[in-house]
């Protein structure tokens, strides 16, 4: 992702400073001198901050280490936090011919990655995350590992690649033999049989879309899931899924910790919408943007082949319009992009209809990209049926693409304003179901391998993710407490507006309001 996109995430993060959660974190944090953090073996001596989150992850213990110049490490849990006397073993990678020639293959225990890379002379060093990667000592003998993998939530390109690379990483790097897949999402822990996974059985799966394990929404019962983990003797749990899944993983981790089990819980964030906080980008996003070009091209070809042609393309994005924004910026054929973060209106001065009329008169055709979560309030006004949820508790959306297409048709046919030719394309599930592209495949591989390195090194209760280009271990609460959204006061959205020339749909008062600076952090 571009620097600009990284900047957008930082704007989101800055707002954390105002939240009660942040103030509580500071109150409970553990201060250390300088930045010589204790290695994880001595973390048992540190007081776990036990901050009770105000939001959705209600019982997350937080492990905060402060250093000089405003340095803060938001660390992830480690076995030694609650099981102090575990034996450790040399990392088998040191004898692996592929790695033995690599200088500094093991990650320095003190390496951390800053969340904010744009700084000023006097700004505090800010929040950091533990750098991901292989450690010199591991907490499992290969023959003792019994790992499982589960995929939850909606589909996303790259799921099979992550599964494949966890299996291959565990097998080839650490010599692990016992790996199973949990079928059909969280509920599969207690309602379905497991399937054995070997490098041979997963060899070709990255070439297929979907997930070979199946997935589901709903059905998260932490007690039943952990009972099942315990009964089977599973000691590494790899959980691939979005924000809902990571919340579920956090609850599972807490139950495992409460029972004092030596079971590592590692999350790999998945969301085609790219709405997971903190991380630079989620896997599958690039593939989705690329595939969306095919739909936009089709809409363009259709619309320019007829008089007053309008192509409407609906793309995914329940709460965040990243796919729509990037697909629009990539295409250059889009005249208007509508996303959930930017409210719009249809009629009157500066409205969508006026703009469509102008573009058709100027250019004879136009393409509109609309993210599925855009304009939901407008639709609710005319349809009156909001508030339904799916099995995971996600808001069910009304079809903005169909609604918008109908509204445009009605407007232009009423009072015989203009004869238009509108074609509506909904490629959403076609985009989601494809295999990941080359760059996402590499990305999935690194995420999977780093998840494996973290679990083998005794870290647990973490999500693996890229922050400012570096792989890190992020505590669950950080990726679940808020969603990554397009910031419409950022330069990236301004670039989009100037590339499409569409109206901003914002009133002068609203622009003033959102520009008002927030209070600086204390």
Ligand X SMILES: Nc1ncnc2c1ncn2[C@@H]1O[C@H](COP(=O)(O)OP(=O)(O)O)[C@@H](O)[C@H]1O
Residues at the binding site for substrate are: 271-273, 316-318, 372, 429-432
Contact assessment for residue 313 and residue 368, using Cβ atoms and an 8 Å cutoff: yes
Quick one: which H or E segment has residue 197? none
Q: Which stretch binds ligand FBP (CB under 6 A): 157-165, 310-318, 333-341, 458-466?
A: 310-318
**Partner whose footprint covers residue 267, from ligand X, Mg ion, ligand FBP, none (CB < 5 to 8 Å by kind):** none
What is d(CA 281, CA 302) in angstroms, rounded to the nearest whole number? 32
Structure tokens at 12: 């989101």
Distance of closest approach, residue 150 Cβ to ligand FBP, in angstroms: 14
Choose among 238, 162, 159, 148: nearest CA to 195. Answer: 148
Shortest distance in whole angstroms from residue 241 CB to ligand FBP:
7
List the strands of the sheet with 365-371, edge to edge.
336-338, 365-371, 309-315, 421-425
Q: How far is the CB of 15 from ligand X (least distance, A)?
A: 22
Closest to 448 measured CA to CA, from 456, 40, 146: 456
In 3D space, the residue among 257, 254, 331, 318 whose CA is nearest the CA of residue 290 turns out to be: 331
Cβ nearer to ligand X, comparing 178 with 478: 478
Residues 6+ apart with CB under 8 A from 436: 157, 158, 161, 206, 283, 284, 287, 444
> Could you tell which of Mg ion, ligand FBP, ligand X, none binds residue 185, using a CB distance below 5 to 8 A set by kind?
ligand X
Question: 185 or 435: whose CB is closer to ligand X?
Answer: 185
Q: Residue 59, exposed/middle/buried by CB under 10 A (0-12, 13-18, 19+)? A: middle
DSSP string, 45-90: GSPP--PPPSSS-TT---EEEE-GGGEEEEEPPBHHHH-TT---EE
Out of 67, 114, 126, 153, the residue judged to bind ligand FBP by CB under 6 A = 153
Q: Binding string, 255-294, against ligand FBP, x = CB under 6 A?
A: ----------------xxx---------------------
128 binds, among ligand FBP, Mg ion, ligand X, none (CB under 5 to 8 A by kind): none
Per-residue DSSP letter, 389: B
Longest dimension (CA), the chain: 80
Torsion angle, alpha carbons of 381, 382, 387, 388, to 10: -170
CA distance 422 to 303: 7
Other Cβ atoms within 10 Å of 407 Cβ, number: 18
**Which of 242, 309, 401, 461 contacts ligand FBP by CB under 6 A?**
242
Q: Does 317 bind ligand FBP (CB under 6 A)?
A: yes
- 2 phi/psi in degrees, rounded to 5: -70, 165
The burial class, CB within 10 Å (0-12 / 13-18 / 19+), for 245 is buried
Known binding residues for Mg(2+): 243
Report what 316 binds from ligand FBP, Mg ion, ligand X, none; CB cut-off 5-8 Å by kind: ligand FBP
User: Which residue has the CB atom at the shortest distance from Mg ion?
Assistant: 242
- The nearest distance, CB 369 to ligand FBP, in angstroms, is 14
Residue 154 or 311: which CB sits closer to ligand X? 154
The residue from 75, 243, 280, 440 that contacts Mg ion (CB under 5 A) is 243
Q: Which of Mg ion, ligand FBP, ligand X, none does residue 318 bind to, with CB < 5 to 8 Å depending on kind?
A: ligand FBP
Taking CB under 6 A as the criterion, the residue among 390, 469, 507, 514 binding ligand FBP is: 390
316 lies in the binding site for ligand FBP (CB under 6 A): yes
Cα–Cα dist 116/124, whole Å: 10
Q: Which helix (H) or strand (E) holds 353?
A: helix 352-363
Determine the Cα–Cα distance for residues 455 and 480; give it in Å rounded to an integer: 20
Name which of residues 76 to 135 contact ligand FBP (CB under 6 A): none
Using CB under 6 A as the binding rule, the residues of this chain from 340 to 379 that contact ligand FBP are: 372
Alpha-carbon radius of gyration of the chain = 24
Q: Which residues pair with 264 in a beta bridge?
A: 236
Nearest approach, Cβ of residue 265 and ligand FBP (Å) = 19
- Is 67 a binder of Mg ion (CB under 5 A)? no
372 binds, among Mg ion, ligand X, ligand FBP, none (CB under 5 to 8 A by kind): ligand FBP
CB closer to ligand FBP out of 303 and 392:
392
Show binding-site residues for ATP: 154, 217-218, 242-245
Cβ proximity to ligand X, 218 vs 343, nearer residue? 218
Minimal distance, residue 242 CB to ligand FBP, in Å? 4
The window from 98-106, 143-151, 242-250, 357-365 that contacts Mg ion (CB under 5 A) reads 242-250
For residue 242, state whether it binds Mg ion (rule: CB under 5 A). Answer: yes
For 208-268, the DSSP string reads SSS-TT---SS---HHHHHHHHHHHT--EEEEEE-HHHHHHHHHHHHHHHHTT---EEEEE
- Residues with catalytic function: 273
Judged by the rule CB under 6 A, the positions of this chain that interact with ligand X are 56, 152-154, 185-186, 216-220, 241-245, 247-248, 251, 271, 392-394
- Does 165 engage in binding with Mg ion (CB under 5 A)? no
* Residues flagged as binding site: 154, 217-218, 242-245, 271-273, 316-318, 372, 429-432
Q: Which partner, ligand X, Mg ion, ligand FBP, none, binds residue 210 by CB below 5 to 8 Å per kind?
A: none
CB-nearer residue toward Mg ion: 74 or 243: 243
* Cβ atoms of residues 182 and 192 within 8 Å: yes
Residues interacting with ligand FBP, by CB under 6 A? 153-154, 242, 271-273, 316-318, 372, 390, 432
């Amino acid at each position: 992702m571009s620097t600009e996109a990284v900047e957008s995430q930082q704007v989101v993060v800055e707002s954390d400073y105002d939240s009660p959660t942040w103030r509580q974190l500071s109150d409970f944090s553990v201060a250390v001198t300088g930045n010589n953090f204790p290695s994880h073996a001595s973390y048992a001596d540190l007081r776990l901050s036990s901050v009770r989150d105000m939001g959705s992850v209600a019982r997350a213990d937080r492990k905060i280490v402060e250093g000089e110049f405003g340095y803060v490490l938001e660390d992830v849990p480690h076995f030694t936090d609650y099981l102090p006397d575990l034996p450790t073993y040399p990392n088998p990678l040191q004898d692996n011919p592929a790695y033995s020639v690599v200088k500094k293959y093991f990650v320095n225990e003190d390496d951390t990655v800053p969340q904010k890379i744009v700084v000023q002379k006097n700004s505090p060093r800010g929040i950091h995350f533990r750098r991901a990667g292989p450690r010199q000592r591991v907490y499992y003998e290969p023959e003792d590992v019994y790992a499982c993998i589960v995929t939850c939530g909606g589909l996303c390109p790259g799921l099979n690649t992550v599964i494949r690379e966890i299996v291959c990483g565990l097998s080839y790097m650490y010599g692990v033999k016992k790996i199973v897949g949990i079928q059909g999402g969280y509920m599969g822990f207690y309602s379905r049989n497991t399937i054995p996974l070997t490098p041979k059985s997963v060899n070709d799966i990255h070439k297929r879309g979907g997930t070979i394990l199946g997935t589901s929404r709903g059905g998260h019962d932490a007690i039943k899931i952990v009972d099942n983990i315990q009964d089977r003797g599973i000691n590494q749990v790899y959980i691939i899924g979005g924000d809902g899944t990571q919340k579920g993983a956090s609850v599972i981790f807490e139950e495992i910790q409460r029972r004092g089990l030596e079971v590592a819980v590692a999350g790999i964030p998945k969301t085609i919408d790219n709405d997971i906080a903190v991380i630079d980008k989620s896997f599958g996003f690039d593939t989705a943007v690329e595939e969306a070009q095919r739909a936009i091209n089709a809409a363009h070809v259709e619309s320019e082949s007829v008089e007053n042609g309008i192509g409407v393309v609906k793309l995914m994005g329940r709460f965040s319009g990243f796919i729509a924004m990037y697909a629009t910026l990539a295409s250059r054929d889009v005249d208007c992009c509508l996303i959930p973060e930017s409210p719009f209106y249809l009629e009157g001065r500066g409205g969508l209809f006026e703009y469509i009329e102008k573009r058709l008169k100027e250019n004879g055709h136009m393409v509109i990209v609309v993210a599925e979560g855009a304009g939901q309030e407008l639709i609710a006004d005319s349809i009156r049926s909001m508030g339904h949820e799916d099995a995971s508790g996600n808001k069910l959306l009304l079809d903005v693409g169909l609604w918008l297409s109908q509204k445009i048709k009605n407007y232009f046919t009423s009072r015989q304003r203009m004869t238009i030719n509108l074609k509506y394309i909904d490629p959403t599930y076609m985009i989601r179901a494809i295999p990941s592209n080359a760059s996402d495949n590499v990305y999935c591989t690194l995420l999977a391998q780093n998840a494996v390195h973290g679990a083998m090194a005794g870290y647990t209760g973490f999500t693996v993710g890229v922050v400012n280009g570096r792989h890190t271990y992020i505590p669950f609460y950080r990726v679940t407490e808020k969603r990554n959204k397009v910031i419409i006061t950022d330069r990236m959205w301004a670039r989009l507006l100037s590339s499409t020339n569409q109206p901003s749909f914002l009133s002068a008062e609203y622009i003033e309001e959102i520009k008002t600076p927030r209070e600086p952090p204390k």
